[in-house]
Structure 1
Amino acid sequence: MATRFRKSRRQRGSRYCGWGQIGQHRQAGSRGGIGGAGKHKHFFVRTVIEEPDHFGHDAFNSFNRNLVNRWVNVRDLDAVFAKHGKADASSGKVVLDLTSLGYDKLLGGGKIGGAYTIKVAKVSEKAKAKIEAAGGEVISDEHDAE
């Protein structure tokens, strides 16, 4: 449609431009408030019909969620040691600092190859038990194992 035939062009100079009384198209009062105003008041029925999940929160979204971004299993400790580990000359123990390597947690999947001294932020109970059974130890930041 050509611009010259549009209603807004035809109504120029007509004072109200099709909105009746001048106050009908000025502020937010003509539409019941600005934005989401009135969703718990005069627009409640519309809100319940159009947005049934608007009120409340998701039960599975914990506010104090503890995210573990990177983890390693007990079965992979030999490969990690071969790439990054060092043996302590004084005690002869194999030391792995998983925190400095970017791992957040040690999990207990698989079998352990040798005795390791492991520094990590979090450790599962199975992993801790397997390492201690093999003669190693776990130095963890957490107070009690998860």
Structure 2
Amino acid sequence: MVVRRSKRSRKMRGHRTMGWGTKGQHRDRGAEGGRHIGMHKEKWSWIVKYGKDWYGKHGFVNPTTKNIKSISIRKLSELIESGKIELQNKESVIEVDLEKNGYNKLLGGGKIEKPIIVRVPYATNKAKEKIEKSGGQVILTSQS
């Protein structure tokens, strides 16, 4: 864009609208930003290219929602075998504190052969049955 060397206010003195036309006369702020109409009509190609999050809800996080990070028995046994989870060995029984490893809930999907002791705030009934069937124990650390 070309740089305007002389100010327009000096240049257009004596002309009634000073080059801004007969209707708006440079009073409105124009299309400088914000949410404008026509974005689902004539400006749709701009929306597709640049405005991915133009429609929908934005920026509110409900304070009452609880983020529960869960892990299944299948994933837990994989992590134990690969050594990617912190363990405590007590008398040939593996003990796992899932809360220290960042998990809140134990789910019942998968199989487990080794007897393990699992400390976790929440666990499903199916998960408890499977762990106890393998000779282990589920210790719930939550207060409720």
TM-score scaled to structure 1, two decimals? Answer: 0.51
What do you get for the CA RMSD once the two structures are aligned?
4.7
The within-5 A match list for 1:83-98 is: 84-87=87-90, 94-98=94-98
Instruction: Tell me which residue corresponds to 1:24.
Output: 25
> 2:50 aligns to what?
none
Q: Does 2:133 correspond to 1:133?
A: yes
Cα distance change on mapping 1:35 and 1:132 into 2, 3 Å = same
Residues 81 and 116 (structure 1 numbering): CA distance in 2 closer, same or farther, change over 3 Å? farther
Give the aligned length.
124
For residues 77 and 47 of structure 1, do their structure 2 counterparts lie closer, same or farther at Cα, with a shift above 3 Å needed?
A: closer
Deviation of the 1:77 alpha carbon: 6.7
SS at match of 1:131: helix
Structure 2: gaps (5+ residues): 48-52
Q: Deviations over 1:33-83 (max 9, x none)?
A: 9733xx6xxx4xx2553579966649xxx9536352x73534337535996
Identity across matched positions, percent: 32
Q: CA deviation at 1:123?
A: 2.9
Partner SS state of residue 113, structure 1: coil
Q: Give ranges in structure 1 of 5+ residues lacking alignment.
A: none
Q: CA deviation at 1:84?
A: 2.2
- Tell me the amino acid that sits aligned with residue 106 of structure 1: L
Matched residue SS, 2:25: helix
1:76 counterpart (60, 75, 78): 78
Matched residue SS, 1:132: helix
**Relative to structure 1, is the Cα distance of residues 93 and 73 closer, same or farther in structure 2, using a 3 angstrom cutoff?**
closer
Counterpart Cα distance in 2 of 1:117 and 1:25: 74
The structure where helix makes up a greater share of residues is: 1
Amino acid at match of 2:12: S
Q: By how many angstroms is 1:102 displaced?
A: 3.0
Q: After superposition, give the CA deviation of every residue in 1:91-135 in whole Å (9 maximum; x if it has no partner).
A: x86432122133344343443223322112343443222012223
- Offset, 1:27: 4.1
- Counterpart code for 1:128: K
Please name the residue that 1:123 is paired with: 123
- TM-score of the two chains, using structure 2 as the length reference: 0.51
CA distance in 2, matches of 1:18, 1:94: 82
